[in-house]
Amino acid sequence: MTATTRPVRTTTPAQWLRKNLFRTPLDSVLTLILAPLSLYALYLAARFVFVTGRWEIVEVNLKLLMVGNWPIDHMARISVTLVAFGFLGGIVAGLVHARQVRRGTASVLNMSRRERILDLARRFGLILFTVLLLLALTSTWGPTITAVGVVVAGVAGRVVGGILGRLHLPKPVAIVLVLLMLSTPFLLYFYLVDAVPLARWEGFWFNLSSAAAGIILCFPLGVLIAIGRRSKLPLIRGMSTIYVELVRGVPFFVLLLMAHVALEFFVPASIAPSRPVRAIVVFTIFTAAYLAEIVRGGLQSVPRGQEEAARAVGLSPFSVMSRIVLPQALRNVIPAQIGQFISLFKDTVLAGLAMSIFDMAQVASAITQQSAFRGQGLIVETLTFTAFLFWVGAYTMSRESQRLERKLGVGTR
């Protein structure tokens, strides 16, 4: 068999313009109106970023924006945590890759070297750019060393994970490894709060870590409630429904305020949990309700025949759910789930406002009151910077979710 190559189509710039911008009269009119407008907007943005923007305020307060008043002496703990997560992420990526190679579903196998590099650049380019930008604004070596450490740990983890995935480990060893990996975040948490209690986690660090905690905690709760709504037992079904309807009916901000203010009416201040803990609890409760609805939709999208076939081969009700229905349900609603997590990530700034937590947005507004910067309208700069960091995080999550979706083959079954 001879391989036929697709005929290479060459387009001249004129053809491209015609096809993409001036295909019909309406297209032409729209182009003529919108092109100058967007060019002007671009010009304004570029001028702000490169010419008129006064970024010293961000430069001077970078540490405050990122980690608030985290003691300098304990910054190393954050570095260690980030490096450890880099390593962990690398291992997971390596394991996933090895598994896909084993099953012959790894997409990178069909990629040329150039395509692989492009793929990596597309995935990590924005993050890399952001990190370099932040490093350029720092004056100490700590952050740079940390960043290099994270990259090295990530690559090392990827290699180790790839090797582990190829070995046929005996089951007990594999279980121990998985438990070790699962317990790492908790160990790191204790390592961190040992030096700096949760109540003093501030800046972007608060937004990031409380969002992560909320996401991890709300996931099992949301899934359980979604399953509860399909229960045969009226009590469980009723409670799940009431939970969802109650929580969804209350504004998020009001829930946060209640956790901040009203809790003290019911619980003595001495035993009431600290504000970040309350914030995380509210994140969890709130997002779980929305997640439950999303997952419920996913459960409904799995054809009845799947459950019947699973029951017919003798699987227990638990296995039917955990092995057959739930995996397909969760897979079918990945975009909606990630969308909810992105919302939570962004909404963490509301906790800052409602509960007087010194989160990144609060820092961004507080630093404009410093004597060197007061009264100069620099809030535009600090908020732009804040928005940019959140956008990078949210956009990365969104991209990775699309990738995950493609990998798991949603819609191509």
Partner 1 sequence: MTETRNQVFADATAVDDPVIELESVDKFFGDFQALKEINLRVGRQEVVVVIGPSGSGKSTMIRCINRLEEHDAGRIVVNGVELSEDIKAIQEIRRETGMVFQQFNLFPHLSVIDNITLAPRLVRGLPKAQAEQEAMELLERVRIPEQARKYPGQLSGGQQQRVAIARALAMRPEVMLFDEPTSALDPEMIGEVLDVMKDLARGGMTMIVVTHEMNFAREVADRVVFMAQGQIVEVGTPEHFFTNPQEDRTKLFLSQIL
Q: Which residues bind partner 1 (CB under 8 A)?
A: 103-104, 303, 305-306, 308-316, 319, 323-324, 327-328, 331, 408-409, 412-413
SS3 call for 359: strand
| Dist CA 64 CA 310 (whole Å) | 54
Closest contact distance (angstroms) between CB of 286 and partner 1 is 30
Joined tokens for residue 120: 């990596």
Closest contact distance (angstroms) between CB of 317 and partner 1 is 9
Closest contact distance (angstroms) between CB of 331 and partner 1 is 7
Whichever of 2 and 412 has its CB closer to partner 1, that residue is 412
Whichever of 62 and 98 has its CB closer to partner 1, that residue is 98
Closest contact distance (angstroms) between CB of 105 and partner 1 is 8
Q: DSSP code of 89?
A: H
Whichever of 264 and 308 has its CB closer to partner 1, that residue is 308
Which residues face 203 on adjacent strands?
A: 359
SS3 call for 307: helix
Whichever of 208 and 330 has its CB closer to partner 1, that residue is 330
Distance of CA 33 to the CA centre of its chain: 36
| Dist CA 261 CA 128 (whole Å) | 40
Find out whether 138 and 58 touch, Cβ atoms under 8 Å.
no
Nearest to 213 by CA among 196, 195, 194, 188: 188
Whichever of 125 and 303 has its CB closer to partner 1, that residue is 303
Whichever of 61 and 332 has its CB closer to partner 1, that residue is 332
Closest contact distance (angstroms) between CB of 413 and partner 1 is 4
| Dist CA 299 CA 307 (whole Å) | 11
Closest contact distance (angstroms) between CB of 52 and partner 1 is 53
> Rounded to the nearest 10 degrees, how much is the dihedral formed by the CA atoms of 388, 394, 396, 397?
170
